[in-house]
Amino acid sequence: MARTWSCSGLRWTPEGPALVWDGGRRSALSRGKRVAFAVPDGSGRHCVGARGHACPVRAAVPERSTGARCEECARLDRAHSVAADTLADDPRPYRVHLAWFGPGMVKVGITAVERGPARLLEQGAVCFSWLGTGPLMAARRAEELLRAALGVPDRIPYADKRAVRAVLPATEDERAAEVRQLHARAVALAGWPEALTPEPCRPVDHVRGFGLADAPAASGAVVRLVAGGAVGGRLVAAAGPDLHLTVAGRGPVVLDTRLMTGWELVPLPPADDVLTLPVREFRREQDGLF
């Protein structure tokens, strides 16, 4: 019987993206690399636990869930996160950023200074700029200020991000335009937290780092993993948690690696491309009336 592997998710490092497996092993994901695995027949998806601890009941979780946690473990994990505002006394400095994912899609967010741009890579930001640096609560107030005064969201659904990757503006200047405009409006707002030091607008573009500049447009996205299903293809791009894989006989597809967590997986030997997982096809706008 083939050895099974449990995926902990995709991590972005200075060298690029890598799949992380339980136990600490990493698989670097260079473009052109073959990604191929199968879900054993009769298997199921189970909760990955929280805060480094296994789920005490090994609860079953939905196949479509991107969190792969049961209700209790999800609550425990969130209770100790910055996003839940339960770490008000965190002494680390934080940065506020503006992240752009496509036309009309700009969000505000925060990340610990020590993490550098990793959070932006994990979110699939096509372009971003730092906005300010300071204590956690000052960064939070800046987030709230931008939401209230300028209507800037702090979340953008991944489905929306994927939908625009095929129609991104061609140049870095075009992709940075909305970030520059919003940055100027943000630092001019009354009520800017005194403890937050504004930073100049210096847009960073990830299109080439993600591989999107030369990758063919994806035609669909894997909806979920299923027992007995498999996928095998070549990596042409990676953005956030998403792998863009070319599969012979159809256009490239997007695999959200968050769907892999909670499953026991087996590697596939080098062979023909395969895709036996449910896929949602992307809608294409018609060029004319007919």
Query: What sign has the CA pseudo-torsion 55, 58, 61, 66?
Result: positive
For 162-184, what is the mean pLDDT? 95
Three-state DSSP class for residue 215: coil
Is pTM beyond 0.85? Reply is yes
pLDDT, tens digit, for every residue of 90-119? 789 999 999 999 999 999 999 999 999 999
pLDDT, tens digit, for every residue of 233-248? 999 999 999 999 999 8
What pLDDT is attached to residue 289? 33
Sequence-distant (≥ 6) Cβ neighbours of residue 193 within 8 angstroms? 132, 134, 138, 139, 141, 142, 145
For residue 211, is it left (φ>0), alpha (ψ between -120 and 50) or beta? left
